Amino acid sequence: MPDLKLSKLPDRTPVKITVTVTPELNKALQAYAELYRETYGEAEPVAELIPYMLESFLAADRGFAKARRERSSPKRG
């Protein structure tokens, strides 16, 4: 087999998750979507924004990143 620089692509099959939010969170999400529209000139439904918001949140959480690295690193002993 050839030695390609690009590794095999990961599974990209979307996974649908249904969540229930409080009325206050729903209002905040709607307000965020409106501010997004005002900022970028394009309306995006809240459902389209949420995955990117979650991804950004997880990427910024240093404690989560550290714990994830520790759990995935091989145990030495």
Write down the pLDDT at residue 47.
Answer: 95
Q: pTM value?
A: 0.75
Tell me if 49 sits within 8 A of 30, measured CB to CB. no
pLDDT in tens, 31-75: 999 999 999 999 999 999 999 999 999 999 999 999 999 998 876
The residue assigned the tokens 């240093």 is 62
Tell me if 47 sits within 8 A of 30, measured CB to CB. no
- Mean pLDDT for 13-34 is 96
Tell me if 32 sits within 8 A of 44, measured CB to CB. no
The count of other CB atoms within 10 Å of the CB of residue 29 is: 16
Write down the pLDDT at residue 37.
Answer: 96
Q: 46 versus 5: which is more confidently predicted?
A: 46
